[in-house]
Amino acid sequence: MSGLYERHLAVSPEWLALYYRHPIELTHGEGRYVWDADGNRYLDFFGGILTTMTAHALPEVTKAVSEQAGRIIHSSTLYLNRPMVELAERIATLSGIPDARVFFTTSGTEANDTALLLATAYRRSNQILAMRNSYHGRSFSAVSITGNHAWSPTTLSPLQTLYVHGGVRTRGPYAELSDDRFIRACVADLEDLLGHTREAAALIAEPIQGVGGFTSPPDGLFAAFRQVLDRHGILWISDEVQTGWGRTGEHFWGWQAHAEHGPPDILTFAKGIGNGMSIGGVVARAEVMNCLDANSISTFGGSPVTMAAGLANLSYHLEHDLQGNARRVGGLLIERLRGIAAGSAAVREVRGRGLMIGIELVKPGTDEAHPEAAAAVLEAARAGGLLIGKGGGHNTSVLRIAPPLTLTVAEAEEGASVLADALHAAD
């Protein structure tokens, strides 16, 4: 492997953990496949969430990026920038938020930081409600609202955060309840919490927890929360960094499964929209977005090259109905994986929506998390030419599947066959 890993260890922080015993050096990609420095080809079942929403080396995006790079690469803060305005217009319309304003950042973390800045300024409170087991990024304030404490490198916090039940449906004290009773129990928990607090600024939540293991609450939970929040004037921030852009198949945004009482006040997005270029952003209604007293600048947020990538990517996505593809191919893949899992004592559950699929592993015959099995399956899948992810609470026992949204039925079948073999590593 050309000694690159050893060089990486010598210069990088120890906590910068990479996947696999011998990490992969990716050299190039095409469609749903990537290649490593040793010439091995892998079907990419995880790049979709990490970065590549649509396809590796999508010609439309490559062309837009190189043409824009050949014209001008600049910041977006002091001068007008056509791709940025055009992408903002499209996202404002798609967001479902009335009178929407869009602010671009370079990552999901910064997007959530900006959302916190807005909510705390708007409400003049630094108290935030977040979900247990949540993940919102790596900055000081983002780790302060991350309920998945495996991802909290510090116990210090600039915010006062209160954690709410509801993000994880399948485990925890309310796991045995019906959907309706689950929602009622979570709402009662939220109301109880609000009885003991100062005025909270916002509730931030992922509609489906990503890093937390692709766990989703019953549809309507956040609509029920919203009614309570509205009574207190508390804002709802929907972190769509993983659930946005039609990945769940059913909806363009995750919040739409909870739409009964309207859209969130603030929506954050990132990852896939740039198809690998670093774009993040915040959408909020004008009254909230404009509550800051001073300019909030991100030098490279909205830079012309990333915006050109986002525009080309979004156009391709909409023209090719990739949300519909996520629904169709994801639906088939989930069924196929459930069939495979039926023969494995180590699989507790196959869950998911569209092309956001989790396989939770346990020690056979128990309900205990099995991180060693997840690591072993990841290695076995790699040996079979398939890249997948993992996540889920303190013990990362959930295999995560989030391919580019252009995944074909044949590729889904290919990946499922590799997984069928790889899952033996968990037995």
Instruction: Between 31 and 281, name the residue whose CB sits nearer to ligand PMP.
Output: 281
**129 is a contact residue toward ligand PMP (CB under 6 A):** no
Size of interface with ligand PMP, in residues (CB under 6 A): 15
- Asked if 247 and 241 count as a contact pair (C-beta separation under 8 A), the reply is no
- Cα-Cα-Cα-Cα torsion 143, 148, 154, 159, nearest 10 degrees, comes to 50
* C-alpha to C-alpha distance for 67 and 47, rounded to whole angstroms: 25
- Cα-Cα-Cα-Cα torsion 404, 98, 255, 104, nearest 10 degrees, comes to 50
**137 is a contact residue toward ligand PMP (CB under 6 A):** yes
**Which among 134-142, 326-334, 344-352, 360-368 is the span making contact with ligand PMP, rule CB under 6 A?**
134-142
Instruction: Between 117 and 332, name the residue whose CB sits nearer to ligand PMP.
Output: 117
Q: What are phi and psi of 393, to 5 degrees?
A: 55, -155
Of the candidate residues 114, 168, 186, 206, the single one contacting ligand PMP (CB under 6 A): 206
Contact pattern for ligand PMP over residues 266 through 285, marking x by CB under 6 A? ----x---------x-----
Instruction: Between 31 and 310, name the residue whose CB sits nearer to ligand PMP.
Output: 310
- Tokens for 213? 């293991």
Residue 211 Cβ vs ligand PMP, minimum distance, rounded to whole Å: 5
- Tokens for 137? 């990024």
**Which among 67-75, 133-141, 289-297, 403-411 is the span making contact with ligand PMP, rule CB under 6 A?**
133-141
* C-alpha to C-alpha distance for 79 and 219, rounded to whole angstroms: 43
Instruction: Between 210 and 415, name the residue whose CB sits nearer to ligand PMP.
Output: 210
Instruction: Between 208 and 347, name the residue whose CB sits nearer to ligand PMP.
Output: 208
Of the candidate residues 54, 81, 109, 133, the single one contacting ligand PMP (CB under 6 A): 109
**Which among 158-166, 203-211, 254-262, 338-346 is the span making contact with ligand PMP, rule CB under 6 A?**
203-211
Residue 378 Cβ vs ligand PMP, minimum distance, rounded to whole Å: 17
Of the candidate residues 113, 239, 411, 414, the single one contacting ligand PMP (CB under 6 A): 239
Q: Which of residues 208-237 bind ligand PMP (CB under 6 A)?
A: 210-211
**112 is a contact residue toward ligand PMP (CB under 6 A):** yes
Task: Considering only CA atoms, give the Rg of the chain.
Answer: 21
Instruction: Between 137 and 358, name the residue whose CB sits nearer to ligand PMP.
Output: 137
Site for ligand PMP, rule CB under 6 A: 107-109, 112, 135-137, 206, 210-211, 239, 241-242, 270, 280
